[in-house]
């Protein structure tokens, strides 16, 4: 495996397959970690004799179909939570997945289905499919699993009799909330409220969170123009036929590459892929360019500053232009990291200046933390990195938060009942689960874990980029919220498929990026394990 391993070259092949094992000594291997080299027999002897194995050593045993990576550290610290590594039995999708996809295709378009899952057997960072393949999941249901599959704390929560009612009886929260609803909001969502926000409205998903945040912004802006909240008779009549003045022609400014959902208002602010928008009527709302930074950042400081300045200038120009068009910009929406659009980053200074522009022109500033929220970047909210003197006016969330909704300032509070409303307005059972998730995050110090494991992942990706520059470029990220570019969409998709067949689930974003969205319980040894597997995927790529 490595001609420079230093083992006895005359040893039998069965005992001389050399495996990289991260140890304390500084070996000469080329993997992201520094390996010492052990033969299969040496590793077997260590285990058989019951000798102590350092927690940072990965014992690797070969299975008939692919590799199986066993982490001693995982066994010691996450025995209830994690499996010991990937285990592949078939290609993915396997025969059972293909059959189920065929069945589903009879009743709906199933072209987007990757494979069918066995969620009962999935655990921790590992997703198990219906063919028995066990994969290290670095995509986590499009960034929506906070503390791993079937976490013991959540299983225990669901087994408590006093919680059963919340899962059986889903209330219409706007009119008939349960007795403990306010207490559970304070225990869960309000305990992590962004700076400057005392108000919360829960929703079911990210799209409806943004959609209703838009509505709150429009109502706030109209009341600001009126000077009061009492609508005229003409406004009440014309709104019923979608006409001015009852339906003012306001707009939300968004950015190219942004993704904010697929409902009608959100779709007007979504600009990541044509397939999302094709054939759907939309609004004439302003679209500003989002910075396209050059990497490595330290080599392009001036160019990137100029790029961000240009984008901010365009934002101001569009606000003025749309005011003249009588399509006043009532709000600006932005993601801390454009996720679906290709993991596009901008500097903290860019966002601080964007917030200043919003204040200068009287626009609400809405931060979409649907994908970046709940700790994925190493802070609970990614916009905390910006250090805003004047907080955002609203922050939307979903995915890892288990429920949708938005925090907002007092000024955006609806002035009458039923203005922001639907049947469910969220789900109290999700608040129960979120409260326990937050307890786990605090108890296990998972934000610090994300920073640490994210740095290991990022450094490893940088190393892979240096060794495979024809396949990897523009490595970037915050916490475990990492990504890199590939040469093309076709190569990106093939790398993802090849990694899946080696036991790793990855996701794509933008035109040619691969993104990483692991859970908050993704540890250092998981990062090393992934980097080792993916190194092989890259080395074997044709």
By annotation, the residues acting in catalysis are: 259, 368, 399, 423
How many residues are listed for the chain in this entry?
Answer: 542
Rg (CA), the chain: 25
Cβ density class 313-344: b for 16+ within 10 Å, e for less: ebbeebbeebeeeebbbbbbbbbbbbbbbbbb
Q: How far is CA 473 from the centre of its chain?
A: 21
What is the maximum alpha-carbon separation in the chain?
A: 95
Q: Which residues pair with 334 in a beta bridge?
A: 367
Helices 524-539 and 446-467 meet at what angle, rounded to 10? 20
Helical (H) or strand (E) element with 350 = helix 348-360
| Residues 20, 240: Cα–Cα separation, whole Å | 70
| Residues 100, 109: Cα–Cα separation, whole Å | 13
Strand residue runs (E) in 361-472: 364-368, 394-397, 404-408
Structure token digits, residue 268:
């007007």
Q: Alpha carbon of 285 to those of 268, 368, 488: distances in Å? A: 7, 18, 31
Q: Alpha carbon of 146 to those of 69, 136, 159, 195, 420: distances in Å? A: 23, 15, 20, 22, 28
| Burial of 185: CB neighbours in 10 Å, binned 0-12, 13-18, 19+ | buried
Query: Under a CB-based contact definition with an 8 Å cutoff, are residues 126 and 529 in contact?
Result: no
């Amino acid at each position: 495996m490595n001609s420079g391993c230093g083992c006895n070259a005359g040893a039998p092949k069965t005992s001389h397959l050399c495996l990289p094992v991260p140890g304390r000594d500084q070996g000469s291997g080329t993997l992201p970690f520094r390996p010492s080299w052990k033969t299969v027999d040496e590793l077997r002897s260590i285990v058989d004799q019951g000798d102590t194995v350092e927690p940072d050593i990965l014992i690797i045993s070969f299975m008939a179909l692919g590799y199986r990576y066993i982490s001693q550290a995982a066994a010691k610290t996450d025995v209830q939570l994690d499996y010991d590594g990937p285990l592949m039995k078939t290609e993915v999708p396997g025969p059972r997945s293909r059959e189920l996809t065929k069945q589903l295709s009879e009743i709906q378009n199933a072209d987007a289905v990757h494979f069918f899952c066995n969620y009962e057997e999935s655990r921790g960072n590992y997703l198990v499919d219906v063919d028995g393949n066990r994969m290290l999941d670095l995509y986590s249901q499009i960034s929506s699993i906070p503390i791993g599959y079937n976490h013991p704390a959540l299983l225990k929560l669901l087994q408590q009799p006093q919680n059963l009612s919340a899962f059986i009886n889903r209330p219409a929260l706007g009119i008939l909330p349960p007795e403990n609803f306010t207490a559970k909001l304070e225990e869960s969502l309000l305990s992590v409220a962004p700076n400057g926000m005392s108000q919360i409205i829960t929703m079911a998903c990210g799209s409806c969170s943004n959609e209703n945040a838009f509505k709150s912004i429009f109502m706030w802006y109209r009341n600001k123009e009126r000077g009061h909240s009492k609508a005229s008779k003409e406004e009440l009549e014309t709104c019923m036929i979608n006409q001015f003045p009852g339906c003012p022609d306001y707009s939300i400014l968004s950015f190219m590459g942004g993704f904010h959902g697929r409902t009608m208002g959100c779709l007007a602010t979504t600009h990541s892929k044509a397939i999302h928008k094709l054939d759907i009527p939309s609004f004439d709302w302003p679209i500003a360019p989002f910075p396209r930074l050059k990497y490595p950042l330290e080599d392009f400081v001036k160019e990137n500053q100029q790029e961000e300045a240009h984008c901010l200038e365009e934002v101001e120009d569009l606000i003025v232009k749309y005011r003249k068009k009588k399509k006043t910009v009532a709000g600006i929406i932005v993601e801390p990291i454009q996720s679906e659009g290709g993991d596009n980053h901008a500097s903290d200074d860019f966002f601080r200046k964007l917030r200043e522009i919003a204040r200068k022109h009287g626009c609400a500033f809405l931060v979409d933390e649907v994908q970046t929220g709940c700790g994925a970047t190493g802070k609970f909210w990614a916009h905390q990195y910006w250090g805003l003197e004047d907080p955002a006016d609203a922050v939307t969330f979903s995915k890892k938060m288990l429920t949708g909704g938005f925090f907002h300032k007092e000024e955006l509070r609806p002035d009458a009942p039923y203005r922001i409303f639907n049947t469910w307005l969220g789900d109290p059972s999700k608040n129960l689960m979120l409260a326990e998730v937050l307890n786990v995050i605090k108890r296990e110090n998972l934000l610090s874990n994300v920073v640490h494991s994210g740095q290991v992942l990022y450094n490893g990706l940088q190393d892979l980029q240096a060794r495979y520059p024809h396949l990897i470029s523009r490595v970037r990220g915050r916490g475990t919220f990492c990504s890199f570019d590939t040469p093309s969409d076709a190569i990106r998709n093939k790398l993802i498929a090849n990694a899946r067949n080696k036991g790793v689930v990855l996701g794509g974003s933008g035109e040619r990026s691969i993104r990483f969205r692991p859970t908050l319980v993704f540890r250092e040894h998981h990062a090393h394990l992934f980097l080792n597997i993916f190194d092989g995927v890259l080395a074997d790529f044709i």
